Amino acid sequence: MQASDQVECALCHQKVDRANATQLKDVHGPTRETLSKKLGPGSDESFLCAGCLQQERVAQIEKLLHRDKGELSVLEKEVVKAMADRRMLAVNPDDEMDEHVTTGERIADKVAAFGGSWAFIITFGCIILTWITINSVALLTKSFDPYPFILLNLVLSCLAALQAPVIMMSQNRQEAKDRKRSEHDFMVNLKAELEVRLLHDKMDHLLLHQMQRLMEVQELQIDLLQQIQEGKKAP
Question: Residue 1 has what pLDDT?
Answer: 41
DSSP helix/strand/coil, 47 = strand
Q: Alpha-carbon distance 139 to 70, whole Å?
A: 76
Share of the chain above pLDDT 70, in %: 74
Give residue-wise pLDDT tens across range 150-204: 888 998 899 888 888 888 888 888 888 888 888 888 878 877 777 777 676 667 6
The average confidence (pLDDT) of the chain is 76
With vertex at residue 146, the alpha carbon angle to CA 139 and CA 163, rounded to the nearest 5 degrees, is 135
Question: Residue 4 has what pLDDT?
Answer: 53
Question: Residue 226 has what pLDDT?
Answer: 74
- 98 in Cβ contact with 109 (< 8 Å): no
DSSP helix/strand/coil, 51 = helix
The full set of domain ranges for the chain reads 1-90, 93-178, 203-235
User: Taking the model in full, what pTM does it have?
Assistant: 0.50
Peptide bond into 41 cis (omega under 30): no
Give residue-wise pLDDT tens across range 47-89: 888 777 777 777 777 776 666 666 666 667 777 677 666 666 6
Q: Tell whether the model's pLDDT for residue 2 goes beyond 60.
A: no
Q: Alpha-carbon distance 117 to 119, whole Å?
A: 5
Query: How large is the average pLDDT for residues 128-157?
Result: 81
Q: Which residue, among 53, 60, 50, has the nearest Cα to 39 in the 3D structure? A: 53
Highest-confidence range of 79-88, 96-105, 173-182, 226-235, by mean pLDDT? 173-182
Higher-pLDDT residue of 233 and 32 is 32
Fold of 1-90: Herpes Virus-1 (3.30.40)
Q: Which residue, among 72, 36, 61, 56, has the nearest Cα to 198 in the 3D structure? A: 61
Query: How large is the average pLDDT for residues 29-43?
Result: 74
Q: Tell whether the model's pLDDT for residue 126 goes beyond 90.
A: yes
Question: Residue 58 has what pLDDT?
Answer: 72
Q: How far is CA 133 from CA 17, 23, 139, 155, 177, in A?
A: 86, 87, 10, 17, 44
Q: Alpha-carbon distance 66 to 158, whole Å?
A: 56
Higher-pLDDT residue of 101 and 69 is 101
